Amino acid sequence: MVVIAAVNGYALAGGCELAMLADIVVASEDSSFGYPEARVGVLSGMGNFHILPRVVGEKKAKELFLVGEPIKAKAAERFGMVNIVVPAPELKRSVEGLVKKILRNAPLSVRYSKLATDYGTDSNFSATVAYETELLMATFQSEDYAEGAKAFVEKRKPRYRGR
C-alpha cells in the first residue's frame, strides 16, 4: 500500500511525524512543518529520531528537533520532507492526479518498488542488490510483466491484474 500525505496547514509534532511516515507528501504552499516538542519540555516520538535524519540529514534533523520552530512547505520541500508543493486550492486535485499515475502502473512493480526502497534504506548495498534482484525476478515471472510487454508492442494501455 502506498501512503500519500496531503498537508494543508500545520503539520507540527505528531502531525509532522505522521507526514514523515508517508511514502509521498504533497503540501499546500501555506503549510508548515516542525517539531516544537523541545519548546514544551517533551521529546518527539513515533520513530522520528530514526526517520527524520534519513530524510533531511543529521544536521538538519538536529536543527529541527533542537530549535523547535516550524518551516514553510517550500523549505520542507528543499530538505526532502515534502515531495510536491501546490497552491491550497489545487491540493486535492494534485493528490488525485498523483494517485491516478500510480494506479496506472503495474501493482506488483509499485509494491516491490516500495518494499525495495524501504529495505535499501536500512540495509547495506550488497544486501539491497540481492533483495532487489529477488524482486526483479519475481516481476519477470509475473502476468503483469507479460501484459506490460505485450501492451508496449501493441501500442496500447496495459490492463494489469496484480499477478
Cα-based angle 68, 49, 58 (whole degrees, multiple of 5)? 80
Nearest to 96 by CA among 21, 158, 4: 4
- Among the listed residues 37, 69, 90, 96, the single catalytic one is 37
Known catalytic membership, residue 132: no
Q: E strands within the chain?
A: 4-7, 10-12, 24-28, 32-34, 71-72, 84-86
- Distance of alpha carbon 16 from alpha carbon 74, whole angstroms: 15
Known catalytic membership, residue 147: no
Nearest to 52 by CA among 26, 21, 29: 21
- Among the listed residues 17, 29, 63, 77, the single catalytic one is 17
- Distance of alpha carbon 156 from alpha carbon 71, whole angstroms: 45
Note the Cα 51 to chain centre separation in Å: 12
- Active-site residue numbers? 17, 37
